[in-house]
Amino acid sequence: MYRKIVRNIISSIVYMFPSILVIYMIFQVKAFLTDIRYDDGYFYELTTRYSYFEYIVMRYKTWSGRLVGDSLSYFLSIFGIWSYRILALLSYLLSISSICRIVSGKISKKLWLLTSLLFGIIYFSTLTSAVFWFNGGSYYLVPVSCGLYLLSVFTDYYFYNISHISKSKIFFSFVSIIVAFFSNEQISMVVLLICTSFIVLQVFMGRKNKLFFLALMVFMFFCLLISLLSPGNRVRLISEEHWYPGFNQIPLSSKIKVGIFWFFDSIVNKLIVFSYISVFVIYKQAKKYKLNKLCLILLGMQLGLIFANKLLMNYFIDFSTIYNFTFIKDVYLESLEYTANRLGFVALLVKLYPYIFWSLFYTNIFFLLEKISKRKTFFLILLIAALGSLCMMWFTPTIFVSGNRVLYVYSIIFVIILTGLINDMKLDIISLCVLLVLFLSNMLPISFNWINYGFKVYY
């Protein structure tokens, strides 16, 4: 009997290890900044000048419709670091449990381990600025966790036939909408897109939607309108132009051009690890799903070129053009034809090659993942939502200074996708070791650096 108890305790510790490390790092954050040059210091200073109601009215009229996010920043600044620690801990646990429910309809030790490992593989600077940061938690960790809870409420019913709607579920669903939609525009749009897709698909399939979910949708639209139509959004767009002088005056085509550069630069340089995990999943499932051999051969060639670049770039051959995305950023669309004629076909192809290569690489990966996915429509909706969460940044002058935290929503969506795919293929010891190595290589350097030099946000 005692052996069984000890074995269960050890097993639980092993399965909970990634979460224990994340929670430890949350508590490693020892203080928030009081330097007025930084966001934490700015919000702390505002609490000394304004009452709460004066502050929230001022923010809504002069900055944004993030009423709940601003409120959290205000009260967390008053209550101090322990308020962040407790709220961040609860939000992390809610995020992991919600993802488990989204992909499986239930929470198991194996699924919790898998989800928490993938959560810890999110790009290190995205984690520090969106999760392990006093102010970042108010606008990213907390609202995203509420957004994930909302998605789990929809998947409970539409995927797993959990039709019972308790009073507590009703209450927390509406509270989650308020928190998410009045804190972060990215997660608001993503949740709205996915939940609307559920309801529309039900209509096309000739099934009735429960009144509860229709009420949630109406409330989401209502909250989003209040947030987006705040006077502060217009004021903010003008005031933030100093980050990108002339941004508000350039045509839409130029904003898209700049956005494409940022998009490729972010996907390739900061989110590439999700691609490697995706390739690992494809390799493990290739025989089972009889994946297209031509696509697999092409993927192997693409990976070979990527690794050749990593190995040879600094020694024999310069493959650096594969990561050079500045061409589209630097060339005006109006003068593209002139530039193409001046460069010539070969030189122009070299300039455009990085965009062509990575577009083919990711298209190939997404195509193969879609073939593996058991819920193909849901996979495509999640993929569109992930890409859309990044495209939203194309229309703000803070596109290059918002920090890597704006990649958090995209990353969380890919955690959902990969958790579902790996859970379907069964988590063997090899897969577990690969994920554990990636998890530790991402998390431990941050933790050790904080121990040696003190807490620091990595942008």
- Domain-wise residue ranges, the chain: 18-246+438-459, 247-396
- Is residue 331 pLDDT above 70, yes or no? no
Taking the C-alpha atoms of residue 128 and residue 48, their distance in angstroms, rounded to an integer, is 27
Binned at pLDDT 50, 70 and 90, residue 415 comes out as very high
Comparing CA positions, the residue from 332, 320, 323, 418 lying closest to residue 361 is 323
Exposed (0-12), middle (13-18) or buried (19+): which is 75, by Cβ within 10 Å? middle
Local structure of residue 38 (DSSP, 8 states): S
Reported as a single tens digit per residue, the pLDDT across 52-81 is 999 999 999 999 999 999 999 999 999 989
Amino acid at 70: D
Q: Which residue has the higher pLDDT, 251 or 232?
A: 232
- Is residue 347 pLDDT above 80, yes or no? no
Amino acid at 137: G
- Is residue 429 pLDDT above 90, yes or no? no
Local structure of residue 132 (DSSP, 8 states): S
- Any idea which of 34-43, 262-271, 324-333, 400-409 has the lowest mean pLDDT? 324-333
Three-state DSSP class for 197?
Answer: helix
**For position 317, what pLDDT does the model report?**
46
**For position 336, what pLDDT does the model report?**
57
Q: Cβ of 157: how many Cβ atoms within 10 Å?
A: 18
Taking the C-alpha atoms of residue 9 and residue 412, their distance in angstroms, rounded to an integer, is 29
pTM (2 decimals)?
A: 0.93
Three-state DSSP class for 307?
Answer: helix
Amino acid at 186: Q
The torsion of the CA quartet 274, 277, 283, 285, rounded to 10 degrees, works out to: -90
**For position 354, what pLDDT does the model report?**
87
% of the chain surpassing 70 pLDDT: 91
Taking the C-alpha atoms of residue 76 and residue 236, their distance in angstroms, rounded to an integer, is 23
Binned at pLDDT 50, 70 and 90, residue 184 comes out as very high
Do the Cβ atoms of 291 and 282 come closer than 8 Å? yes
- Is residue 278 pLDDT above 90, yes or no? yes
Binned at pLDDT 50, 70 and 90, residue 168 comes out as very high
Reported as a single tens digit per residue, the pLDDT across 390-404 is 999 888 888 877 778
Taking the C-alpha atoms of residue 80 and residue 87, their distance in angstroms, rounded to an integer, is 12
Sign of CA dihedral 139, 141, 143, 148: positive
Taking the C-alpha atoms of residue 423 and residue 275, their distance in angstroms, rounded to an integer, is 17
**For position 315, what pLDDT does the model report?**
47
Reported as a single tens digit per residue, the pLDDT across 197-223 is 999 998 888 888 899 999 999 999 999
Q: Which residue has the higher pLDDT, 297 or 245?
A: 297
